[in-house]
Structure 1
């Protein structure tokens, strides 16, 4: 018998079978010796069954920890945190702007409702925590037991084989990931379907999110409003409003508010007046801290810098102007809507018509700095057959009048693919019969509308 000690005791037993050796007798063979190797461990046999039970117990604990009733408080807490931040913002705004008028009272009532909802969530959280307390205590005991048993099992790994094996597997996995990254073939460019954005295809328009009479009164039926898609630092919450006077044609100032709360309460307004080149029509928009519009009585675009209050102007080649190619309903037209500025994810655009394109809509992308045209597309949509248009992801959408309550997005032209469609049938519920202005803001995916002296907003729906 030979003994060796290495993580236990190896015992080699040499057992000799009984043999008879008879050299004088033929036909009797010699039986050879056989060796047997037995493994004996000083700590006993590795408790495989205990290890498997421990593994099963750990898996069950993981399932219980991921159970819906234990994750629900986390979701509620996240919702409460978000609501609380918004509530603090509303309270701060109310403290700054409270003047006792109707809008302040409405704002105060909204805060009361949001506070009540927050308290309901807190009560739910307390109820769930009380209901789950026993389960949490039991899980804690189970986890502690698992920890103790793992510590016991580690005693069998005297040579740290498991630990080193784990390190080796981690290194192999890291090497595999690195090699895969080096050998990976770049994914091919996928062309989006016509009428699609990276976040989906336009499929609908919400009911009006907000609606109120403009600040100057019901007699100002033409105007525009919104927020800057790419605002200057410090002006991220700024809203603007313009109105037209003198036969719904002429505008000479733009009104700005530092926040939507101030816009709603009509407080803290700042009016900037165009010293030269007043505005014509209600197609102007704000973009990168500048207001872009049709220069009054000219075939030119103007850019009013909101900081320096200076005006840059540039001719728009071949454009029809002074009510030559406005937007129209069946019975009448929206005066001086020849040049319609627009914004989207791709930048600044102008929508207009030319005689060269037979009065059909032309889509041009602009350099926002010097008003030069980067690229133009001719469409087959007769501009007078549409009531308005806006851009989303390089796609122009046009609307038409259905009745006094519904406008319809019926047409699209994709500047990426050149595909045109006139069968969209996406309806917009109106607050008033006419729509003199609409523009999409890619920052909040909102459609801003000016409708017969009312300022209205809609959410665009994508899928």
Structure 2
């Protein structure tokens, strides 16, 4: 039993007034205080505080719990993509249109799923051990806190805790009263209602171009603004001479005709102003491209065969600012045409912007510049780029099977990011051309003589 004693000295004013002065003695009281629970265990409290602090820090550093949830979501999405890909492969197989590339992609995806499942299993085992240890510590601390609270006979600590909570609530309430509420609107990148690019599917189609493997450079796709009667038309153009220029654009009336290499129409483009490089495209029934050996853009009308050209101010050309990997560059990719919901764009670089990418929106009729934006991403560090809703997305080479969409520039807000880490699965190492079509929200890609398309997913 603990004993707390105290002395109370009374002044002379409290002495017996009838006693002579010399005989006055201060009265003294002595009191025994019996504490039934013993002395307060201060050392135990300090140890408990230290354990609690270490436990809190451990929880703050335990990223594995959130990582495992993200990995589970990734596995679920990959399983859905795999099932869809297998169905597509079966349809291609039944139609005798399948390629070994499609089968190889399925094999790679299964290998990745097995690897992810192994990682997830290991992470779950670690998390279970960690959670068991933390549960035990929390239970022990709870029991010890209950014991320590017995010493607080007047409930001082508990009341202090309630006062702190009440004070916080009062401060929060006062702050809320001073703020004028306004509806929160989540900002969307670019100029469209859907959100930022989240993921890219596996190739929805993959086949060798119709001219053969000797033509690694080219472009293909579907007109985002087709003329009446050409809504289902697809086009293919190859760079046939020294990976520098080609003069033929081949069109097909439907995707079936394109897949089966059926009936087509060849149109000779240029009339003296030939296309240079693989950056051209069809938009509004006209073929747009970099004019051969010139710092100009050209527009070739697919119906009337008329050609319009205009200088692209200060733009690099003839391999001054091409797209590159870390080991080599794609020749004559200085000027890259692009389409999205806002119309026609050109992506290029200038010396004034230190070789960094410049984004310009074009007048589709006379090729004049409507608006321009300077970015801070060096064009030679980029392998390709495309536009979606006024947002520029740029890619870089990771390895022979994966290209990464790593950078974005929002022309609406001016926001730049270089940490996107969106993977794009490839069947072959190189990507010489890519363009987004706002009509079907697909990304059309020309990769080492193969033509592919991808479906984009947004937030």
> What is the TM-score with the length of structure 1 in the denominator?
0.59
Once residues 205 and 240 of structure 1 are traced to their aligned partners in structure 2, the CA distance between those partners, rounded to angstroms, is 23
- Cα offset for 1:267? 1.2
Change (3 A) 1:103 1:282: farther
2:427 maps to 1:431: yes
Superposition pairs for residues 36-115 of structure 1, below 5 Å?
105-106=95-96
Once residues 366 and 190 of structure 1 are traced to their aligned partners in structure 2, the CA distance between those partners, rounded to angstroms, is 31
* Preserved contact between residue 195 and residue 202 of structure 1 (Cα < 8 Å): no
User: What is the aligned length?
Assistant: 284
Q: Which residue of 1 aligns with 2:276?
A: 280
* Preserved contact between residue 103 and residue 264 of structure 1 (Cα < 8 Å): no
* Preserved contact between residue 201 and residue 454 of structure 2 (Cα < 8 Å): yes
Q: Which residue of 2 aligns with 1:391?
A: 387
Q: Which residue of 2 aligns with 1:358?
A: 354
2:345 maps to 1:349: yes
Q: Which residue of 2 aligns with 1:228?
A: 223
2:445 maps to 1:449: yes
**Ranges in structure 1 where 5+ consecutive residues have no aligned partner:** 1-101, 109-186
- Cα offset for 1:194? 3.5
- Cα offset for 1:196? 7.8
Once residues 456 and 322 of structure 2 are traced to their aligned partners in structure 1, the CA distance between those partners, rounded to angstroms, is 25
* Preserved contact between residue 189 and residue 195 of structure 2 (Cα < 8 Å): no
- Within the candidate set 223, 239, 242, 2:237 is matched to 242
CA RMSD, Structure 1 to Structure 2 (Å): 2.0
Secondary structure at the counterpart of residue 198 of structure 1: coil
2:366 maps to 1:370: yes
Q: Which residue of 2 aligns with 1:411?
A: 407
Change (3 A) 1:395 1:189: farther
Structure 1 residue runs of 4 or more that deviate by more than 2 Å after TM superposition: 102-108, 187-197
- Cα offset for 1:195? 6.2
Q: Which residue of 1 aligns with 2:213?
A: 218
- Cα offset for 1:272? 0.3
Once residues 104 and 240 of structure 1 are traced to their aligned partners in structure 2, the CA distance between those partners, rounded to angstroms, is 25
* Preserved contact between residue 395 and residue 412 of structure 1 (Cα < 8 Å): yes
- Within the candidate set 262, 280, 290, 2:257 is matched to 262
Q: Which residue of 2 aligns with 1:381?
A: 377
- Within the candidate set 197, 205, 214, 2:200 is matched to 205
Superposition pairs for residues 140-179 of structure 1, below 5 Å?
none
* Preserved contact between residue 190 and residue 412 of structure 2 (Cα < 8 Å): no
Once residues 299 and 312 of structure 2 are traced to their aligned partners in structure 1, the CA distance between those partners, rounded to angstroms, is 13
Once residues 257 and 391 of structure 2 are traced to their aligned partners in structure 1, the CA distance between those partners, rounded to angstroms, is 33
Once residues 454 and 196 of structure 1 are traced to their aligned partners in structure 2, the CA distance between those partners, rounded to angstroms, is 32
Secondary structure at the counterpart of residue 291 of structure 1: strand
- Cα offset for 1:193? 3.5
Q: Which residue of 2 aligns with 1:298?
A: 294
- Cα offset for 1:188? 9.0
Change (3 A) 1:256 1:191: same
- Within the candidate set 387, 397, 401, 2:397 is matched to 401
> What is the TM-score with the length of structure 2 in the denominator?
0.60
Once residues 354 and 418 of structure 2 are traced to their aligned partners in structure 1, the CA distance between those partners, rounded to angstroms, is 18
2:307 maps to 1:311: yes
**Ranges in structure 2 where 5+ consecutive residues have no aligned partner:** 1-91, 99-181
* Preserved contact between residue 103 and residue 265 of structure 1 (Cα < 8 Å): no
CA-to-aligned-CA distance 1:207-229 (integer Å, 9 cap, x gap): 00000000000010000000000
Once residues 230 and 327 of structure 1 are traced to their aligned partners in structure 2, the CA distance between those partners, rounded to angstroms, is 27
* Preserved contact between residue 191 and residue 412 of structure 2 (Cα < 8 Å): no
Once residues 286 and 401 of structure 1 are traced to their aligned partners in structure 2, the CA distance between those partners, rounded to angstroms, is 26
- Cα offset for 1:235? 0.2
Secondary structure at the counterpart of residue 329 of structure 1: coil
Secondary structure at the counterpart of residue 331 of structure 1: coil
Once residues 378 and 191 of structure 1 are traced to their aligned partners in structure 2, the CA distance between those partners, rounded to angstroms, is 26
User: Which sits farther off after the overlay, 317-326 or 243-252?
Assistant: 243-252
Secondary structure at the counterpart of residue 262 of structure 1: helix
CA-to-aligned-CA distance 1:98-131 (integer Å, 9 cap, x gap): xxxx9995379xxxxxxxxxxxxxxxxxxxxxxx
* Preserved contact between residue 339 and residue 436 of structure 2 (Cα < 8 Å): yes
